[in-house]
Amino acid sequence: MSNLAQKRILLGITGGIAAYKSIELIRLLTKAGAEVQVVLTEGAKAFVTEMTLQAISGHPVRSTLLDPNAEAGMGHIELAKWADLILIAPASADFMARYAQGMANDLLSTLCLATESPVLLAPAMNQAMWRHPATQANAKLLTERGVLSIGPADGAQACGDIGPGRMSEPSEIFNAVNTHFQNTAVEQDLAGQHWVITAGPTMEAIDPVRFISNHSSGKMGYALAAAAIARGAKVTLISGPVQISTPANANIINVKSADEMLAACQQSMSAQADVFIGAAAVADFKMKAACDQKMKKQSDTDEVTLTLVKNPDIIATLAQQKRARTIVGFAAETQNVIEYAKGKLAKKGLDIIVANDVSRSDIGFNQDENQVTVITKDKTWSPDKAAKSELANQLVEFIQQHIKLSS
Ligand code: C5P
């Protein structure tokens, strides 16, 4: 049976162009067996119609707080109690600000105050609005209060801008809802543990417009973060630039270069963490001195020489500084996979290394599936090829067992 069967989801839609995507979201939720009650803010009515939402959800849409007819049916406090989850997609900057302030000046904000059920936000707004310190402070405050969130994603925006603020895709929001209900059934055996995970590529500037990077999608590291969160761990996810949504409840730190990634790791583990997983594909080299201005084409030569220097080895540095009790690395290799991985385990001072063959096109970089070999100083284990989300569950279990045996 689906995790969503008979789950009661109150879907709040606030004013933003991404509201049109919520129609698809309702379809996904109801198809999986959930009951969906839609609540619109005044702003949302400019983007989607009550008629459409009523037809798709199968329930009359609610929007006003002081509506005697609606209150005579299911009053707003009853409605707040009815919901197993309040999902707000899109969540506008204005709504997040009102929610963070504890305002109750329309039906949706009142329901958020009145509910004792979890609330999951899918923020959507212009990139400058999302980056504004006021919005960032509101998002942080809400997270600290236990409000869950998914996204926003990075990319092209309806207004023509490019940057963070796009609402996560309906399928990603659906997965987050599904994972949420799955998690509530999972034993919280990592509660009280702090896991720090790096993911994605690093981006090393050549000049203000060019950079050195790699094809890492971040999928494996993000899946590990979601798997550890599901079992109750507090997870800090330190990520290079990626195009995927942040797992609900992760404490995300976005970085670009390896130097920034190392600094963020050290800061996050100023008190020793329980587990550090280096799933990021860190660029081995950076410019000796990145150019302040855009490099010009030289008309008299066909060649250009860039002087590169080694980046810090983040995981080896953290292992040496004993920043985490258990340190897990990844080794992406194209040949002699196991042998090279064993060498890295010893050289970098790791407890566990996860080796994968990136010469295969069906697994690893940018793929949804992976096949790995997990190596410790006295054990080698090769789970079957699996979806990264499934493999992440198995790896988290392996790490947890390793901690138990070695403590
Ligand atoms: O690139 P390499 O194969 O050495 O990566 C092995 C492990 O070391 C990975 O876990 C990667 O995240 C980490 N690493 C790092 N800093 C680097 C290079 C790799 O933390 N500069």
User: What is the chain's mean pLDDT, rounded?
Assistant: 93
Query: Could you report the per-residue pLDDT of 108-161, keeping only the tens digit for each?
Result: 999 999 999 999 999 999 999 999 999 999 999 999 999 999 999 998 888 888
pLDDT at 1 over 60: no
- 345 CB less than 6 Å from ligand 1? no
- 22 CB less than 6 Å from ligand 1? no
Which residues 6+ apart lie within 8 Å of 9 measured at CB?
29, 34, 35, 36, 37, 83, 84, 85, 86, 87, 177
Which residues 6+ apart lie within 8 Å of 350 measured at CB?
315, 319, 327, 328, 329, 344
Q: Taking residues 56-74, what's their average pLDDT?
A: 87
- 204 CB less than 6 Å from ligand 1? no
Cα separation, 178 vs 197, in Å, equals 23
pLDDT at 61 over 90: yes
Q: What is the DSSP string of 153-222?
A: EEEE-TTS-EEEEEPPPHHHHHHHHHHHHHHTTS--TTTT-EEEEEESB--EESSSS-EE-----SHHHH
Cα separation, 242 vs 228, in Å, equals 20
- CA 315 to ligand 1 centroid distance, Å: 6
The reported pLDDT for the residue numbered 185 is 72
Exposed/middle/buried for residue 103 (C-beta within 10 Å: 0-12, 13-18, 19+): middle
Query: Could you report the per-residue pLDDT of 24-42, keeping only the tens digit for each?
Result: 999 999 999 999 999 999 9
- 280 CB less than 6 Å from ligand 1? yes
- CA 280 to ligand 1 centroid distance, Å: 7
The residue contributing the CA closest to ligand 1 atom 17 is 313
- CA 349 to ligand 1 centroid distance, Å: 12
The reported pLDDT for the residue numbered 74 is 79
Domains along the chain with CATH numbers: 8-183 (3.40.50.1950), 194-293+302-406 (3.40.50.10300)
The residue contributing the CA closest to ligand 1 atom 2 is 331
Q: Taking residues 98-117, what's their average pLDDT?
A: 96
Q: Is 328 helix (H, G, I), strand (E, B) or coil?
A: strand
Indicate the pLDDT class of residue 363, thresholds 50, 70 and 90: low
Confidence (pTM): 0.68
Indicate the pLDDT class of residue 229, thresholds 50, 70 and 90: very high
pLDDT at 4 over 90: no
The reported pLDDT for the residue numbered 316 is 98
The reported pLDDT for the residue numbered 306 is 95
Query: Could you report the per-residue pLDDT of 175-206, keeping only the tens digit for each?
Result: 999 988 887 777 889 999 999 999 999 999 99
pLDDT at 394 over 90: yes
- 318 CB less than 6 Å from ligand 1? no
Q: Is 311 helix (H, G, I), strand (E, B) or coil?
A: coil
Cα separation, 163 vs 271, in Å, equals 33
The reported pLDDT for the residue numbered 328 is 98
pLDDT at 264 over 60: yes
- CA 323 to ligand 1 centroid distance, Å: 16
Query: Could you report the per-residue pLDDT of 274-316, keeping only the tens digit for each?
Result: 999 999 999 999 999 999 999 988 888 889 999 999 999 999 9
- Are 11 and 91 in contact by the 8 Å Cβ rule? The answer is no
Tokens of 164: 């963070």
- 344 CB less than 6 Å from ligand 1? yes
Indicate the pLDDT class of residue 56, thresholds 50, 70 and 90: very high
The reported pLDDT for the residue numbered 281 is 96
Indicate the pLDDT class of residue 364, thresholds 50, 70 and 90: low
